[in-house]
Structure 1
């Protein structure tokens, strides 16, 4: 698949866990396709028309970091990735429009992300909707005996690629996001979808090295 590494390396992992040192040695992966920034209601409607055609979406949000005790911010960005493009909804500009809420509430579209429950509660604070079709990648990984359950660890162990977290603590509430922020946000949503597709191939309670033996590339 575009931008995804070719599996894990011989002698580097035990099939269920990968170390930070090994992750840092993997090739950097990033979303290679188009990024659609959604900043108006019209753009939200157009995005929803394309998103409704997908059966699986990668899901994530970005929030302005809080550095003081008691500080809390609403999400600034919602990311939804198809296999062909990633949509970034700038929430502080347009809120959470009904067409996007309809996607989040759709029972026919799978939305995959790491620990989406917190993100969904934060989004519901912006606008009311009933989430449906969400899959927690951490729970999927745990059911398959995988110890790395964060996005970066799963990207490395399951997809053989390293994703950058350098923009995580940048100000996502800025009205104009940098190219680095846009790529970072798109990559997180894209890799969430890729991880879901890879985990779907693994039966629950079956570890990776039983499916992909050490030294054998996928």
Structure 2
């Protein structure tokens, strides 16, 4: 059935009543840990026309403190996610190749800060980015539409976004399962929204 976007985005109270969004499970999340797994991930990612994309950084706690992130770079197709950690330096060239590919669109929400951090830390300027906030603004929405609101609008579901996890230490070498799920499903939600907008003829 065609998607009809509501004239007014749902508020937090309404979103809280919705059934949960079914995200990727741990067995569909690949943490890229070595050169061989990076090469395998790169081959898989380059097969897609578009991937969901996001980054996570260890939070800053003091005024004027600069972020040292991103510490995690995550990509997702419609059925699998790949997570790269910045301390695994031998894996990062694969992530950078995807980011700089003009053939694979990288889709996300509010990518401006992610771009700033990527440029500052790695000198990377990604190509072929699609910021979903711009996609929703093109439909006439004035306020920023984030992942939770977009999932509610398009799927009638509630995306879990724990502040406790989002502000956790993303620089640790062994990420907790909850962090893996959070990071992967941020990127997964983006590609799901992008595909739904494409299917409805509301995005490029």
Same fold (TM over 0.5): yes
Counterparts of residues 99-178 of structure 1 (less than 5 Å): 99-146=94-141, 147=143, 149-166=145-162, 167-178=165-176
Whether the aligned pair in 1 keeps the contact of 2:56 and 2:72 (CA below 8 Å) is yes
SS in 1 for 2:88: helix
Alpha-carbon distance in 1 for matches of 2:104, 2:167:
30
Higher helix proportion (structure 1 or 2): 2
- Give yes or no for the alignment of 1:29 onto 2:17: no
Unmatched runs of 5 consecutive residues or more in structure 2: none
Structure with larger Rg: 1
SS in 2 for 1:126: helix
The alpha carbon displacement at 1:202 in A equals 4.1
1:180/1:50 CA distance change after superposition, 3 Å? same
Alpha-carbon distance in 2 for matches of 1:165, 1:137:
17
Q: 1:75-127, CA deviations, whole angstroms, 9 ceiling, x for partnerless residues?
A: 11001001221001011332772222111111111111012232122122332
SS in 2 for 1:44: helix
For these two proteins, the number of residue pairs brought into alignment is 195
TM-score (norm: length of structure 1): 0.81
The alpha carbon displacement at 1:186 in A equals 0.8
**Farther-moved stretch of structure 1 (92-101 vs 169-178):** 92-101
Superposition CA RMSD, Å: 2.2
Unmatched runs of 5 consecutive residues or more in structure 1: 1-6, 206-218
